[in-house]
Structure 1
């Protein structure tokens, strides 16, 4: 059955994306990964950014893409939670993208500019600490800012009913069609059913933990999912999968998302999977093991997709307002998380060399590399102008 994305759906998605990005400068930054890298190059930033070791990077390392993630044993860690743009590239790009996100959040919280400068210092110190001790079980517990502690506490106490109520507006295994969830075409329904019931995919769904080949999972319900910001316009679906057992029926909520070519710069000579979904999976296993262990890949007709079970503990870090103290602690802690994801991939000698590179080029009045500060400042200005122009075009008459 030939698959065609309905034209009216695409038009609505693009309109929603434009309006969503007009909500705040921070939302605009989150939804503009392609412009981020274009503007970084245009500002001459790429000439001053040091070449780090070739490792898997997030590629879109903003605040909303970090948060608590559960593994199969129920252990929760703060890790990178979105790998759509992940590539083998320059780790400095993740630092700049995180710095821009933090700086924009600070501006939205009416914090003075000196706080942004201090955040860059805290970022670098947290990132460097990760290279001294890349074991993620150490050094993090006492450093968590309140926004992280709150979201971690919420994650640890969550069950299926919380996930269903939050995502589906009900605890019953039914996806409510409406603003967020849209009906499927016949071709989509057939394709999704084949994906989520295929044994290599269904076997990685932890909530349906069964080694009994006779207990075949089945798709209870599915819908198109209007979600995210930068990914709006790509295919994305939510599906409820069920498995009958001795104690009744178990349910899992599954996210099926289209994978496409990244816009993040790829290191010269880097060898990565050519299939976009396989690239995302490889990156998840390197950067966020809790997430990588719960993912699979498939094809929905001619489209490459990755599949992951949504766990109740998976949450994003939402920042509406920063206090000065929280801003500094968040900068240090989140950079530590990113640093550990990078450092785990490096041999000790390479870690030491990259840490020494970060030490160079620091002005006397700022304990952060000048390339990081200059890049964040230049990009903040470009994004602020771009955001205002975006609002004039897309939100003025809304």
Structure 2
């Protein structure tokens, strides 16, 4: 594949993002954060309950949850993508998750009644996170079990073969990695020579604070969907001595203003990189403690070392049983991220508010059902129009 010059990246990245979003309705939902928040600012979106102001993911679709490792090597399912994190209304995460699960169910050709039952399970799983009844925790769905097994077994070689196609200490240019400008290369060298990067890399279990850290290779990283078009870089580092080197892959991602609405009078870092790191440390401490922020090329970035255990959770071809299990389990993960930020009284009041507006037919609030129905309809229209505008043109080419 011919890689574009650094000055000519924007057009192919925009085309790639549009094609990724055209792959399925579920992919479109994952990549259309701005459209979701446009709906939130509409009259129907304003009728949602006002929860306590806590750090929220801001883009809480199912693909942004998955296995992550912490500094001590422990692995669990957490929120793993926090570009949009703000101090805001936790109900926004709940509705965004429910929307993505509903579109995943539609992609699996499940009947509409399953969506209704999934929303009941979303509420059940979320509320369980606010209780101490661990014996009632929802079981892990098959996709989560499979993801956890893979995460536990993965090594640096798996990560290297997946991300950079080889375990050798180079980053091959091609589909996923593009060349850097001279200015970018110099900036990345200076960043990786910093004490902040040295401290980040050597804080991982099994490494020494005295280990030497050296930049081996770097490239522009073509990764993600909604973030395509922002500055993102991969840096391959060598850690330790030359006789027995350890390698690590650093993800350096530009931080921009969040589309998610923040709570009134919320005090957050003004620097977007610092905001992302702070939100991560509240929502997913194991991940957040592996992140730092930095400024480079007059932009804010947040940075983390990618571990072999950091994986995206894929919910493909769900059965009815697995769909409901996934809804309860993932909602509990989100609930735990919210609950750890609330005191006992705030938790009780928030759960009490969530119990309101339930009908005899559906054991979920009416606002959740009506929100998901409206959003599924809006996104279905948006998805079809998106395909007409971009996928048809790509086929003609």
1:51 aligns with 2:50: yes
Contact 1:67–1:314 (CA under 8 A) maintained in structure 2: yes
1:395 pairs, out of 391, 394, 397, with: 391
Which runs of 4 or more aligned residues in structure 1 lie more than 6 Å from their structure 2 counterparts after TM superposition? none
Match of 1:344 in 2: 340
Alpha-carbon separation, structure 2, partners of 1:247 and 1:217: 14
Contact 2:6–2:180 (CA under 8 A) maintained in structure 1: no
Contact 2:283–2:337 (CA under 8 A) maintained in structure 1: yes
Contact 2:72–2:205 (CA under 8 A) maintained in structure 1: no
Alpha-carbon separation, structure 1, partners of 2:246 and 2:115: 47
1:261 aligns with 2:257: yes
1:332 pairs, out of 314, 325, 328, with: 328
Match of 2:41 in 1: 41
Match of 1:168 in 2: 164
Compared with structure 1, are the counterparts of its residues 158 and 141 closer, same or farther at alpha carbon in structure 2 (3 Å cutoff)? farther
Alpha-carbon separation, structure 2, partners of 1:337 and 1:284: 14
The Cα of 1:190 is off from its aligned counterpart by: 0.9
Per-residue CA deviation, residues 134-166 of structure 1 (Å, 9 max, x unaligned), is 9xxx55876100000000000001110000011
The Cα of 1:311 is off from its aligned counterpart by: 0.2
Alpha-carbon separation, structure 2, partners of 1:59 and 1:198: 31
Q: Secondary structure at the residue paired with 2:83? A: coil
Counting matched residue pairs gives 388
Match of 2:28 in 1: 28
Match of 1:127 in 2: 126
Compared with structure 1, are the counterparts of its residues 139 and 64 closer, same or farther at alpha carbon in structure 2 (3 Å cutoff)? farther
Contact 1:208–1:250 (CA under 8 A) maintained in structure 2: no
Q: Secondary structure at the residue paired with 1:297? A: strand
Alpha-carbon separation, structure 2, partners of 1:291 and 1:32: 24
Match of 2:78 in 1: 79
Q: Secondary structure at the residue paired with 2:94? A: helix
The Cα of 1:244 is off from its aligned counterpart by: 3.0
What are the equivalent positions in structure 2 for 1:192-207 lying under 5 Å apart?
Answer: 192-205=188-201, 206=204
Per-residue CA deviation, residues 328-383 of structure 1 (Å, 9 max, x unaligned), is 00000000000000000000000000000000001110000111111111000000
Q: Secondary structure at the residue paired with 1:69? A: strand
The Cα of 1:196 is off from its aligned counterpart by: 2.0
Alpha-carbon separation, structure 1, partners of 2:224 and 2:53: 29
Contact 1:40–1:375 (CA under 8 A) maintained in structure 2: no
The Cα of 1:74 is off from its aligned counterpart by: 1.1
Q: Secondary structure at the residue paired with 1:204? A: helix
Match of 2:89 in 1: 90
Gaps of 5+ in 1: none
**TM-score computed with the length of structure 1 as normaliser:** 0.95
Q: Secondary structure at the residue paired with 1:132? A: coil
Compared with structure 1, are the counterparts of its residues 101 and 142 closer, same or farther at alpha carbon in structure 2 (3 Å cutoff)? closer
1:17 aligns with 2:17: yes
Match of 1:274 in 2: 270
1:233 aligns with 2:229: yes
Alpha-carbon separation, structure 1, partners of 2:31 and 2:242: 45
1:313 pairs, out of 284, 309, 313, with: 309
Match of 1:358 in 2: 354
Contact 2:128–2:136 (CA under 8 A) maintained in structure 1: no
Alpha-carbon separation, structure 2, partners of 1:169 and 1:216: 25
Match of 1:210 in 2: 208
**TM-score computed with the length of structure 2 as normaliser:** 0.95
1:118 aligns with 2:117: yes
